[in-house]
Amino acid sequence: MYDGAMGTMIQNQGKWLDEAAYRGERFANWSCNVKGNNDLLSLTQPQVIRKIHMEYLQSGSRLIGTNTFSSTRIAQADYKMENLAYEMNYAGAKLAREVCDEMTSLHPDRPCFVVGALGPTNRTGSISPSVEDPSFRNVTFDELVESYYEQAIGLVHGGADILMVETIFDTLNAKAALFAIGELIEELEVDIPVFVSGTLVDLSGRTLSGQTTEAFYASIRHSKPMCVGLNCALGAQQMVPFVERLSKCAECFVHVYSNAGLPNAMGGYDDTPEDMAGYNRIFFEKGWLNMVGGCCGSTPPHIAAIAATVKEGGYKPRVLPPVRRPKMWLSGLEDLIVDDVHNHLGLPFLNVGERCNISGSIHFKKLMMNGNYGEAMDIAKKQVADGAHVIDINVDDGMLDGLAAMQKFVKIAVTEPEVGKVPFMLDASKFEIVVAGLKWCQGKCIVNSISLKVGEELFIEQAKLLKKHGAAVVVMAFDEQGQAATASEKIRICKRSYDILVNKVRFPPEDIIFDPNVLTIGTGMEEHANYGVDFIEATKVIKEECPFAKVSGGISNLSFGFRGVNVVRESIHSVFLYHAILEAGMDMGIVNSHEMIYYHDIEADMKLLCENLVFNKTSDATEKMLERTQWEKEAAIARKKGLTVGNNSTTNSITPKATSWRDQPVTERLSHALINGITQYIDDDVEEARKAATKPLDVIEGPLMSGMNIVGDLFGSGKMFLPQVIKSARVMKKAVAYLLPFMEEEKKQKLLAEGKDPTATNENDVSNFAGTMLIATVKGDVHDIGKNIVAVVLGCNNYKVYDIGVMVPCDTILDEAIRLNVDVIGLSGLITPSLDEMVYVAKEMKRRNMKQPLLIGGATTSKMHTAVKIAPNYSTIEHPVIHVLDASRSVTVVSSLLGQDKAEYAESILEEYDELREDYYDGLENRRFLTIQQAIKQRKVIDFKNSSLSTPAQLGTQVITLSIDDVIPFIDWNPFFQTWELRGRYPNRGYPKIFNDENVGQAAKNLHNDALNMLEQVKNNKSLELKGVVGIYPANTIGTEDVQIYTDETRTTPIATFHMLRQQAEVDGETSYLSLADFVAPKDLNIPDYLGMFAVACLGSSTLITKYEAEHDDYSKIMIEALADRLVEAFAEALHRDIRTRIWGYAQEEDLSSEDMLKIKYQGIRPAPGYPSQPDHTEKATMWNVMNVTENTGIKLTEHFSMDPPSSVSALDLDVKKVNILLLDKLVKIKLNITLKEKDLMFLKLKDG
């Protein structure tokens, strides 16, 4: 017998128990009211609590609950008594201990026990208190654990025999309490019985957080409670069906302590002791209980009546059920016994929905990247509706804060009944992310995954933590040596993992799920052909050697080579699963339930193709499936056009007509052979091309490479499949093999001509290769299939590839690259932590001053991540960092990096990545900014004392005029073509190569000719004038962001002050937060420094624009606008050169071509107001006043600080050789840190930017 309600008995004490009585002497002056804080009475009125305990013991109770229901730091915060939590629990347990010991001494044959009561707190981990934000919580799991741990240790120290987590309306709170108790038991090295008591809030039979009785039990059973039951909220009558359900599923003792009926209109309880005893009788008659007591409204007479009923009826306690076969028992809002599941196709298989996985759904990825959690929930709902038993949640992406995204998604998902009803599989490459998600799940989840690749010690540590949380776990078939590919390796690693988990960790074997790695078949590579067979054979043995464990896998990996044609992919999956499930015992898999095909519904010929492919029955299985894939794709196109298509590839009428490709020129024949994987004529065609070429290498770098570029484009657009890419690579390999003897002979003759011995061998001689590359999977990552395919494709294209394996530490990669003197380094990775390692490698390459281009590839990598996170740490024109989308692109990228046009290619990559970074940072909603004080603290401090500063040749202001002929050599034509929206594709991006582009080349030529003609016109009629003003002034920095300029070298009379801004936005790769003021010597150093500035314009364009508008000649109007812009920019370029070499003269020895000047290879910078490094347009007003710009040139400023005419340019000029920083104008968003008062512009609103 348990006791009854403590609160009811306290309320029955009478009016004397008022605020003063609650306070007692100790808390007489407490700062807030404390009446209602019943747990405080253990300290202020202990005699009251002692008396209540004794009355319950005298009424028949043998177990007494402590007066500590709200004695957590969290709950006591309402009374500002957080710091009394331990003391309250200790005192509450000590009081109960004393009373129990007293009663036991009187009746030694009826020992009494203290039950330490841990209530639910007044907060909930599973439910948002905010209607607007379902992801908001007012308490975290860790805060609950900390609070419960303090409570539990106080109870144990005070003498509690048992710990009871009670009145559970939110199972997540209970799991936190049980976690805390587990930690306490482990620390104290004692075995304390644990009771768990849930609360069903209404007749739906669910907790407040939505769980059913069975789901509640499944969620907490990992804690191995001695007794589980229900209490509060309902009377005994209403609890009957739920107690029955709990009694049927619980493997331990069961209890009930109901209310004395439902509350009446006044909040009281009407069941008399006799009523309550009668309503409880059914529990005893059915044999459902082992312990009974009372909750709200019950008193010692109620307990006495129940005890009498039990005694008079001679009722026996519930018999513990027999030990059952271990089964995996998961839960969301509802429970799920995995071993009993059959999916929607009737197979004994658990469908894990893949669509809430960033790598499994492009749509889901876009939603998550945009923070659209509402629509992401719709994807989850649809998966459940389509037959998913478990939802896989994976937010692994280098551009996403996985920790935050996982937590937010889970917190919202658990509040969505249609989603939260199923268990979750928390899937991440980083262990801390799955643990973070686990802490927001009230149900029993699956964690995906852990493996031995981290080493046995960490593997055990991770498994122990998951066991404490009660999670099931996916164990990948990886170990310290890498990924298991063969059946024997899969079995070995899984058996080793099983033995460690079961024997060392004591992990429940039924909660272990092995993923023996579903690897891609049908790639065209022989070593991949048996992967399906290996998995099925391994599954059968694993099920035999690892009792009760499950086997799972990511099914979409199997058919990756045929992506884009779902009927083929799903047919392969269906055949594979049918045999893996029914013949080998595979239990579950990550699938798209909606698209799964019933095995017996697959067309006979398709089924045969799949069987041959999956089981590697025929040598041409991949080839035949590739043919069927091509047909299916063409058939799909035909159906969209309304054409009739036969049932299979043998009866269709849409097969492409035979082409006469053999009649084409040899270059086109070679491309055709590469694209279609035809080797039949390759030797003859290569020989013909060789004879027409200057040297054999020209054939490789010419028509053969052009063909491979087309292959890359087709694969990237989904028009080719992986097996075809491999076939194309093999055609290339055969072509290169044919040319090698000729290349050897060429090399021999060259050596003879040089007087060298051609027979002397050098094992390091790689001169016959197109280039060399080192490739590795980075540390911590065991995936190598994609890397291997890249190595094959590059090898077939005559590149020497050094593949140094998986899980390769950074130092090993770089040391080997240096030793082998490779041309290019490639990093591969599949899991998100690999992205961090790639960033580290890039930083180390910069630190070591390495010069090799760095290629980034793998499933988890992306162009955006490479641009934002990796490239800023290493990338330059000399050694760019480039993301390679897939194996087919690797040849194009490497050949471009090692070709004559490397600089142009690298420049196009850097330009593209700059735009990606700008787009990324512009789109960030939650951009983090340092305070101005933090940014100043991290600013770059320049050693001006050891810098060589140039004294200007000419100080002051001077007016400049130039002719159009003077500036034509400085025109950058690229923006001109962009104005007209003409862009060439690499390698024909930019002027003048745009003229060679097959799409826009001719239009660009015509446009350029028109521009030159108009330039001649304006030169002849002198309708445009180039005029400007330049000034160089003594200057020094005052403070940290202000630069003063002075009348003369005495630096005593300031002319004006420029208010520079400082970079405050966090940027990947940045180590300091810059301001233009950092590059001018501080005045307190007494070092003379200078600041230059200019303003230039192309005058007369407005008159011409008005003329063309009147003539309705829009083409000429736009042309003159574009030309005026180009001319004034060229004027600025020419003037800047004069400043550097003559007027200031800090780069007098400069001798740069116009092309190099446009690439900013000069010393010095000219940041313009309004641009990222100087975004404040109001600085123009200071420039205009200092140089009398309007009077000297006619250039005016509008009220919003725009320049008139529009074809005007103004800028500051700084000599930055002294700091060796040339990219200040690349700074991204800068936050204003000045005030309008400093500007004396009270009328102007400046946008914080």
Residue 660 confidence class, pLDDT cut points 50, 70, 90 = low
Tell me: pLDDT of 1239 over 60.
Answer: no
Active site residue 781: yes
Contacts of 31 (CB under 8 A, 6+ apart): 80
- pTM (whole model) above 0.95: no
**Does residue 1240 carry a pLDDT above 70?**
no
Check residue 260 and give its pLDDT. Answer: 95
Is the pLDDT score of 940 beyond 80?
no
- Cα–Cα distance list, 555 to 488, 589, 781, 1095 (Å): 20, 6, 20, 64
User: Half-sphere exposure of 401 toward its Cβ, with a 13 Å CA cutoff?
Assistant: 12
Residue-wise pLDDT tens digits, 985-1002: 766 777 888 898 888 889
More confident residue, 1234 or 951: 951
Which pLDDT band holds residue 2 (cuts at 50, 70, 90)?
very high
Residue 1058: both structure tokens together = 């420029």
Phi, psi of 1167 (to 5 degrees): -65, 135
User: Which of these is catalytic: 781, 803, 997, 1215?
Assistant: 781
What confidence score (pLDDT) does residue 786 get? 75
Does residue 610 carry a pLDDT above 60? yes
Number of H helices, E strands in the chain: 44, 32
Please count the residues of the chain.
1249
The token pair that represents 292 in the structure block? 């009974």
Quick one: pLDDT at residue 646?
Answer: 65
Q: Is the pLDDT of residue 1224 over 60?
A: no
Mean pLDDT, rounded, for 324-333: 96
Confidence tier at 1243 by pLDDT (50, 70, 90): very low
CB 95 within 8 A of CB 65: no
* More confident: 991 or 332: 332
Round to whole Å and give the CA distance between 99 and 814. Answer: 72
Q: For residue 658, what pLDDT band results from cuts at 50, 70 and 90?
A: very low
In this prediction, residue 1228 carries a pLDDT of: 32
Q: What is the mean pLDDT of residues 665-692?
A: 90
In angstroms, the CA 841 to CA 908 distance is: 23
Q: Give residue-wise pLDDT tens across range 370-413.
A: 999 999 999 999 999 999 999 999 999 888 899 999 999 999 99
What is residue 1068's predicted lDDT score, i.e. its pLDDT?
Answer: 57
User: Residue 901 — pLDDT band, cuts 50, 70, 90?
Assistant: confident
Question: Contacts by 930-938 with C-beta closer than 8 Å and gap 24+?
Answer: 930/1064, 930/1065, 930/1066, 930/1073, 931/1064, 932/1062, 932/1064, 932/1231, 932/1233, 934/1064, 935/1062, 935/1063, 935/1064, 935/1073, 935/1233, 936/1040, 936/1062, 936/1073, 938/1071, 938/1072, 938/1073
Residue 864 is predicted with a pLDDT of: 92
Collapsed DSSP state (helix, strand, coil) of residue 126: coil
| Average pLDDT of the residues in 1205-1220 | 78
Range with the poorest average pLDDT among 139-148, 603-612, 764-773, 1120-1129 = 764-773
pLDDT at 659: 46
Under DSSP, the state recorded for 867 is I
pLDDT tens string 1151-1186: 888 777 777 778 888 888 877 777 888 899 999 999
pLDDT bracket for residue 250 (50, 70, 90): very high
Give the tens place of pLDDT for each residue, 1035-1082: 999 999 999 999 999 999 999 999 998 888 776 555 568 889 988 999
Confidence category of residue 651, pLDDT binned at 50, 70, 90: very low
Residue 647 has what pLDDT? 59
What pLDDT, on a 0 to 100 scale, did the predictor assign at position 853?
97
Q: Quote helix, strand, coil % in the chain, to nearest 5.
A: 50, 15, 40
* Residue 1245 confidence (pLDDT) above 50: no
Q: Report helix, strand or coil for 503.
A: helix
- Residue of higher predicted confidence among 857 and 760: 857
**DSSP 8-state class, residue 440:** T
**Rounded Cα distance, 1129 and 1098, in Å:** 9
Of 107-116, 120-129, 1020-1029, 1240-1249, give the lowest mean pLDDT range.
Answer: 1240-1249
Least confident of 726-730, 975-979, 1189-1193, 1245-1249: 1245-1249
Long-range residue pairs from 80-86, CB within 8 A, at least 24 positions apart, any chain: 80/30, 80/31, 80/32, 81/34, 81/37, 81/40, 84/40, 84/43, 85/147, 85/150, 85/151, 85/154, 86/150, 86/151, 86/153, 86/154
- Does residue 1234 register a pLDDT over 60? no
State the average pLDDT over residues 908-919.
89
Looking at every residue in the chain, the average pLDDT score rounds to 89
- Three-class SS of residue 1028? strand
> Has residue 569 got a pLDDT over 80?
yes
Provide mean pLDDT across the span 1174-1202: 90
% of the chain surpassing 70 pLDDT: 94
Question: Of 22-31, 420-429, 1108-1117, where does mean pLDDT reach its minimum?
Answer: 1108-1117
Name which of 224-228, 275-279, 608-612, 719-723 the model is least confident about.
719-723
**Given pLDDT bands bounded at 50, 70 and 90, which one contains residue 602?**
very high
Distance CA 1057, CA 1034 (A): 12
> In which residue are the tokens 């200040």 written?
1224
Least confident of 137-141, 644-648, 1008-1012, 1015-1019: 644-648
User: Which pLDDT belongs to residue 1249?
Assistant: 30
CA distance 117 to 42: 14
Q: Cα dihedral sign for 362, 368, 370, 376?
A: positive
pLDDT of residue 218: 98
Report pLDDT digits (tens) over 773-794.
999 999 988 777 678 778 878 8
Give pLDDT, residue 704.
87
- Percent of the chain predicted with pLDDT > 90: 67
Average pLDDT on 653-670 reads 70
Residue tagged active-site, from 222, 389, 783, 1177: 783
Model confidence at 926, in pLDDT bands (50, 70, 90)?
low
Task: Tell me which of 135, 258, 834, 1075 is the catalytic residue.
Answer: 834
